[in-house]
Structure 1
Amino acid sequence: MMYELSQRFRFEAAHTLEREVETESSRRIHGHTYHAEVTLRGLPDPATGMLMDLGRFRQALDEVQQVLDHHLLNEVEGLDQPTLEGLCAFIAARLAGPLPRLASVRVWRASGDSCKLSL
């Protein structure tokens, strides 16, 4: 049996985008409420019965959340494009070391737009 363990966090951030449609509003600095869900996959440790200690899981997510929350995403070092896809890739890259069982990252906005990166 394979287990999945997930945690969520949210952040408020602003960005600008170059797009082919809705160009005027996208070029202006504007903000969103973002939500992220990070999922680990694997087998629990036989000694602890846990896939990962939830406290350590939350610590790793808190570090990423602090880098993104209340920032202009265009200025976040390592975030190539401040899109939903770019945020998924950025979060996955930041968490790959501390969360070796990383299986997926999903990012969505309060408006309902969503992107999921499966690893």
Structure 2
Amino acid sequence: MVYLTRRVTFSAAHRLWSNQLSEEENYHIYDKCANPNGHGHNYILEVTVQGMPDPHTGMVINLTEMKQIINEQVVKWVDHKHLNHDVPWLEGTIPTAEILAIKFWERLEHAFPSDMLYEVTLHETENNVATYRGQA
């Protein structure tokens, strides 16, 4: 099995806040990330697919096609957006790196050929990274 990863970057703002928690609990849990106006990140998204290279092309998937899928399903929706307000398919979520990795997976899994998507990794900062491989 060959694993092929495409890396893209985007910038977005978000606010970490749960309506199920009190204001005090939100600030205790999310600290400065609960800022009422939000804050931004320069995210790095890595999407990994799996498969065997096609004997005629030598590719698991054409990287141009992979780039197009990632841009259409995720990047065009989130780049330079406020994730809490501007992205309909994130409505009602707390846009942590963990939740974003899951939501990005959900957008991508049906856009790639069956069972090709292997892993979605989101770097929120150089120190905070979330990886999702779908439900077991």
Q: Structure 1 residue 118: deviation in Å?
A: 1.6
Q: CA RMSD in A?
A: 1.4
- Corresponding residue number in structure 1 for 2:11: 12
Length, aligned pairs only: 117
Q: Which amino acid aligns with 2:6?
A: Q
Among 20, 27, 51, the residue aligned to 1:42: 51
* Cα distance in 1 between the residues matched to 2:49 and 2:117: 4
The normalised TM-score by structure 1 is: 0.89
Q: Structure 1 residue 116: deviation in Å?
A: 0.4
Larger radius of gyration: 2
- Corresponding residue number in structure 1 for 2:89: 78
* Cα distance in 2 between the residues matched to 1:60 and 1:93: 13
Please list every run of 5 or more consecutive structure 1 residues that lacks an aligned counterpart in the other structure: none
Q: Structure 1 residue 94: deviation in Å?
A: 1.0
Q: Structure 1 residue 9: deviation in Å?
A: 0.6
**Percent identity (aligned):** 35
Do the aligned partners of residues 78 and 22 (structure 1) sit closer, same or farther apart at CA in structure 2, a change above 3 Å counting?
Answer: closer
The normalised TM-score by structure 2 is: 0.79
Q: Which amino acid aligns with 1:3?
A: V
* Cα distance in 1 between the residues matched to 2:30 and 2:105: 28
- Corresponding residue number in structure 2 for 1:66: 76
- SS of the aligned residue for 1:21 comes to helix
Please list every run of 5 or more consecutive structure 2 residues that lacks an aligned counterpart in the other structure: 18-25
Query: Is the strand fraction higher in 1 or 2?
Result: 1
